A and B are shown apart, each in its own frame.
Chain A
Amino acid sequence: MRREIPIAITFIVGLAYVIAYFIPHPPFNHFETWFTDWFVIIAAFAIWLGALNLLKISALKIAHKRSDWPFAALIIISFLVMISIGFIEGYRGIYADQPFQFRDPGTAFDWMYVNVYMPLSATMFALLAFFVASASYRAFRARNLEATLLLLAAFFVMLGRVPIGDIITSWLPYKYQMSQWAAWIMNVPNTAGQRAIMIGIALGLVSTSLRIILGLERSYLGGE
């Protein structure tokens, strides 16, 4: 029964969503409502699982005094500070004379979000700008026809999507300026390629979803 019940659950839930797509009326829309809320609640527990796992790994690192253990301590401290502030502000907001949300401007959680989480997150992603440039200089080579096509497309799009492209080609008729080339690349070959990928993924996804719902695909259940 360790595998049979989950397979039955997958079948019932999957079928409910498929039927609700075609018959969005009672009782099928009720199933959709319940299942959507359960999905959200389970997602919350999944995040908790991830966070607990992170704490476990960091605590083990500290206990065994592995290299970089002070940083593991920093992870735990930052995590605990953030959740403390979040829960304190949340409960303060519920019982305040004028109720407010834990993330409203002016709360400590919002301050942590704006001054700690946001700059760290934004800068982490922004670093890629430098690595993209360095990688392009060192590795982006037109070794064969395919790489040349990739390079040319990137070249036209990068130049065409900023005004400098049109300034450089301002001596040409408007139809042949860089922005028009970039637009043509995006609307024609890019659309064709993206469409092929989309349709391929969609067909693969449909067949995999069907196999999962019918219980033919069971790899998500793991081992014994």
Chain B
Amino acid sequence: MGFWEQFGIWLAALFTIGIISFLYKDNVLYKACEAIFVGVSAGYWFVVYYWDMLYKKFYQQVTDPVNPEWYPWLGVILGVLMLTRLSNKIGWLSRWPLAFVVGATAGLYMMVYFVSNAIVQIQGTIVPLAEGTAGDIIANILVAAGTFCGLIYFFFSKEHRGAFGGAAKIGIWFLMITFGASFGYTVMSRMSLMIGRIDFLFGRWLELIP
């Protein structure tokens, strides 16, 4: 293994231990690692966005020897207007690129969310309830009822009383089970991340793991 590779592994191990040391208590090493993380992270995204966005989407397109494009110039003008946010006098100009971003997102999301997250999901809920095995029938009824009651819970324009309140209560029960399942999976995910770090520390660095 070369010097830089070895040095890199030791440095990565030092950073890993530095962050983990926060579990004992806040300390200088942790604070230093946190500061380095913030700086390196900002620098990483700064560089990536320059090369992958500005350079590829603007510079390479406008300077293409065969087919130069003109439209990226307008994107850069809007981008520069974004930076006017730092000034109090002309900061209002940053509203133009902001309006562009908000409009683009609203336009695309309105369609895709409506189709994928509303229509297709409703289609998937309204299924024949009397088909399949007994287990399938119960499952389909529960999914339909649970979705319906959950939606009733989220309808806050009417007071949750009587039958409406009862349905909302059932909706809460389904939502609690959903959150419990999400919690279980979140625990699994966080443990997996720590397993990866332990594999690095005790496997790659200390070479103790077979």
| A contacts, CB < 8 Å to B | 2-3, 5-7, 9-18, 21, 34-54, 68, 71-72, 74-83, 86-87, 90, 101-103, 109, 111-130, 132-133, 136, 145-147, 149-158, 161-162, 184-203, 205-206, 208-210, 212-213, 220-222
Chain A residues with CB below 8 A from B53, complex form: 40-41, 43-44
Chain B residues with CB below 8 A from A38, complex form: 71-72, 74-75, 78, 100
Among B143-159, those with CB < 8 Å from A are: 143-151, 153-154
Pick the residue among A109, A151, A158, A189 that contacts B47 (CB under 8 A). A109
Of chain A, the residue at the smallest CB distance from B58 is A41
Q: Is A186 a contact of B181 with CB atoms below 8 Å?
A: yes
Q: How many A-B residue pairs have CB under 8 A?
A: 403
Q: Mark B154-167, 1 if CB is under 8 A from A, else 0.
A: 10000000000000
Chain A residues with CB below 8 A from B43, complex form: 51, 78-83, 86
List 16 A-B pairs, Cβ < 8 Å: A5-B95, A16-B107, A17-B111, A37-B71, A37-B72, A42-B97, A44-B54, A79-B46, A83-B47, A111-B4, A130-B194, A153-B179, A189-B181, A192-B144, A203-B118, A208-B106
B72 CB → nearest A CB, Å:
6
Complex CA–CA separation, A212 to B110 (angstroms): 11
Residue in A87, A112, A115, A128 with the greatest tally of chain B CB atoms within 10 Å? A115
| B contacts, CB < 8 Å to A | 4, 8-9, 11-13, 15-16, 19-20, 22-23, 31-51, 53-55, 57-58, 61, 71-72, 74-76, 78-80, 82-83, 85-86, 92, 95-104, 106-111, 113-114, 116-118, 121-122, 124-125, 139, 142-151, 153-154, 171-188, 190-191, 193-194, 196-197, 200
Pick the residue among B42, B108, B142, B190 that contacts A126 (CB under 8 A). B190
Pick the residue among A6, A185, A209 that contacts B177 (CB under 8 A). A185
Chain A residues with CB below 8 A from B124, complex form: 195
Q: Is A76 a contact of B106 with CB atoms below 8 Å?
A: no
Chain B residues with CB below 8 A from A129, complex form: 187, 190-191, 193-194
Q: A71-B31, A189-B142 are known contacts. Are A117 and B44 too (CB-CB below 8 A)?
A: yes
Of chain B, the residue at the smallest CB distance from A41 is B75
Q: Is B42 a contact of A86 with CB atoms below 8 Å?
A: no
Chain A residues with CB below 8 A from B9, complex form: 115
Pick the residue among A18, A101, A158, A192 that contacts B111 (CB under 8 A). A18
